Each structure stands twice: as C-alpha cells, then as structure tokens.
Amino acid sequence: MVHEATSRRPIRLAIIGVGKIARDQHLPAIAADPRFELVAAVSRNAVVDGVPNYHDIAALLAERDDLDAVSICTPPVGRASIAMAAIDAGLDVMMEKPPAATLSEVARIEEHAVAAGRTLFATWHSREAAGVAPARGWLADRKVEHVSIAWREDIRRWHPGQDWILEAGGFGVFDPGINALSIATRILPGAWTVENAVLRVPEGRMSPLAADLGMRCGNIPATAVFDFLQEGPQTWDIVVETDGGRLTLRMGGSILDIDGSVTEAPDAEYAGLYARFAELVAGRRSDVDITPLRLVADAFLVGRRETLPPFAW
C-alpha cells in the first residue's frame, strides 16, 4: 500500500521544449495543478523563470536525480530520442500531439515504456475540449448516419513564417487537421478507415496546404475538408447527422450544438490533460492511442496529389 504522505507528494516534472504551446498552455496548467511541481525546464533557446534551465535532456538527466516525469512539447521530429532517454532514466512521459513524426517511432517509444514499466501518455488536447465528452455521451445512444469535418484556418495567422510545417514530416494542414481527427475518433470510437484522399501541395513545398478525406467510421461515411488558407472567419466544426438529430461541435469542440440547443464552457483542455496524466501515473497505466496519426499516415499513403501555386508568407 502507498502511504498517504507518498501518494500526496506532487509529481516532480520537467518541461522539455519551451515554445508557444508550452508558455500558453502547459506552464499555466502545471502551475494550477497541485498534483504537479515544475522543477526544471529544457530548451535550446528559451528560459522558464523560477526553475533551473537545461540546454538538452542529456544535461537535465546528468544533473538531476529528483525527477518523476517529463512533459515533451518539442516538434514531433526528434521527439523519439527524447522520450527514450526519459524512459531510460526511469521517468514517466507525457507528449504533446502528435506523439512522434511516424507511427513506427510511436510504436518504439510505447514498447520501450511498457518494457520499463513507465507511464506514457500521448496527449490529444482537442479531446479535452468542453463539448467532446457530452458529445460522445449523446452519440452513444443514437444511430449515426453521416459525419462531416470542416477545419479551415489561416496558416499566416497561426503559424507565421513557420516553414517547417510545409516541409516533409511537417504535416502541413494535417497539423491542425489531426485535432479534428482526434475529436472525431473520440466521439465515435468505431473502426475509422481512410478510403481516399486528395492532398493539395504548393509548388516547391512538401506538405499539403489543403486536403479532402473520404473516410468511414465502420459503415458510416465521413468526410473531412482541411484548408490552411482560410481568411476571415475561422472554422473548426464537426457535424454528425443521426436518427435523433444533428450534433455540431464548433470552435474546435468548445461549443456543442444539438439541434440548435447550444452549450459552451470555458477552455480547460490542458487542465484536463494534466489531470489525466496524474491519474495514469497513480495507476501505473499508459494511454497511447495512435488512431488520429494512423489516419493521417493512411491519407499520405493513398492520397492523390495535386499541385497548388507557390505559397509565400
């Protein structure tokens, strides 16, 4: 049995990768959760005030033996070696989405965590949006007839100058689009498959600025339209037609509209992620659902490519 005193000691956490998402979301969520204590940060070129900072995970692990866990917020390419090193050091690991650049890397990290008996949590922050859990509950009692996803945002507004996102491995419009897939596969946890895809890639770039997917959830048809060139109003909607009415998740899942009856709740996505990580650590369990990343990989595998005019910021 775990002693009360032990079970109540906070999880001593280092954050790895101190970019926009770490500052905007992770650091406030960690500060607000008494189950966690931020004890270090790792970044090549940024500093978190109030804790010791390290240049890379090797320096962190060489100097600190008081850590319980790391939260990895670096870009997906290169994520695997960081996660492997943390697991080797006996730490539990939480990872921003997508968990790695490839499915084979995720499998390798997961096998390593299982072998070492560590908790691994591959997060999908959009699944914690306020409307997602009630949507899942409502849909469980109904016969779904059709799903349509429209994820249209302006790359220049949300990722200004970030050329990496249009490089090979940068996911392009699937960087936001995978959030839609993470919600869709949570509210309808059936067997999702990709049947066809069109990937529209600007001349001279590697990853798509727009994509259309034809999918199925079991036998239910599902479509997704992803567009990274949306000016004016931004759209992050999932519409589910059922025999009991139409359910719409708007604004990335924060607004739930069931036949015109709207509920909205404040954003608490990252609070939800850290609460879940604490539960997983306490239970010595992992949560690694590759489904959204697998759908993206399948879209690249079977997708027809079309060429768009050159893109400039």
Binding residues for a copy of itself, rule: CB under 8 A, are 77, 80, 101-105, 107-108, 111-112, 168-169, 191-194, 196-197, 206, 291, 294-298, 300-305
Task: Closer to a copy of itself by CB, 73 or 101: give it.
Answer: 101
Smallest separation, CB 174 to a copy of itself (Å): 9
Least Å distance, CB 11 to a copy of itself, is 27
The H or E element spanning position 104 is helix 103-116
Q: Which residues have a Cβ under 8 Å from the Cβ of 232 and sit 6 or more positions away?
A: none
The answer to whether 216 touches 139, Cβ cutoff 8 Å, is no
Token digits of residue 69: 């866990």
Cα dihedral sign, 143-272-130-126? negative
Residue 296 to residue 62: CA distance in whole angstroms: 37
Is 20 noted as a catalytic residue in this protein?
Answer: no
Instruction: Give 155 or 293: the residue with its C-beta nearer to a copy of itself.
Output: 293
Nearest residue (CB) to a copy of itself, 134 versus 169: 169
The answer to whether the beta carbons of residues 303 and 295 sit under 8 Å apart is: no
Using the minimum distance from each CB to a copy of itself, give the nearer residue, 26 or 79: 79
Residue with tokens 């008081």: 66
Shortest spacing between CB 118 and a copy of itself, in angstroms? 16
CB 264 within 8 A of CB 255: yes
Closest distance of CB 226 from a copy of itself, Å: 15
Q: Please report where in the chains the tokens 């049995």 appear, as a residue.
A: 1
Active-site residue, selected from the candidate residues 97, 152, 159, 205: 97
Residue 147 CA, chain-centre distance (Å), reads: 21
CA angle 133, 139, 140 (to 5 degrees): 90
Q: Which is nearer to a copy of itself, 77 or 239 (CB)?
A: 77
HEC profile of 36-67: EEEEEEECCCCCCCCCCEECCHHHHHHHCCCC
> Smallest distance, Å, CB 264 to a copy of itself?
32
* Residues taking part in catalysis: 97
